[in-house]
Amino acid sequence: MATQLLMPKATAVWLVDNTALSFDQIAAFCKLHPLEVKAIADGESAQGIKGLDPIITGQLTRDEIERGEKNNDYRLKISEPKVRLPENKRKGPRYTPLSKRQDRPNAILWLVRNHSELKDAQIARLIGTTKSTIEQIRNRTHWNSANLTPMDPVTLGLCSQIELDIEVEKAAKNRPAAMPEDGTLLPASATENLEINDKKDEELDADKVFAKLSSLKSDNSETNDSDDK
């Protein structure tokens, strides 16, 4: 339901002149004080203001006005708009109040150091700055680089935590997957040498086993000969 009335004082002037609604009803609908509505009716206020018909603007219906005229305790309800306008998406950098513009370089430095994954376009959207300024701060060529102090843009009020989290999440999705440090393949020459060394080790181990068996057999035969004597 729409909650904002167009030109409330002009609407009150029209309702005072064209309806039998009470001052309290008009005041509640137009978000005015009842004494202000009484002053309008007495000609002490809103002089020179032309009344605005809320029926023509689609904010009230004739039936709604008649309900209010029949019951002084009834509070008028603003009509649902027949046409819903799409929300205007912000284009270009965010507008930053003059009082906070001096904090933007500090916020940019904080983002560059703490969220290096953010692109310049994302930082520009968050802080309301230009890519050239961001590049100067990255390269330490900004005219005031020596005096800059990294400061959280959320704390400074330049953006909300939700907006920052959304941009960081977008940057994380677009970041390429990191290659594992031990994931490099050995060259062919190295693997061939490893196979040769393994085979040599196997042969050497086999020789040792056969030598051990031979020594055991000779020991057994000497023991048997001594027993026979």
pLDDT digits (tens, 9 = 90+) for 173-209: 876 655 555 555 555 555 555 555 555 555 545 566 5
Over residues 124-146, the pLDDT tens digits come to: 888 888 899 999 999 999 888 88
Q: Which of 91, 111, 115, 89 is closest to 158 using CA atoms?
A: 111
Residue 82: pLDDT band (50, 70, 90) is low
How far is Cα 214 from Cα 220, in angstroms, rounded to an integer?
Answer: 10
Q: Which value, in Å, is the radius of gyration of the alpha carbons in the chain?
A: 42
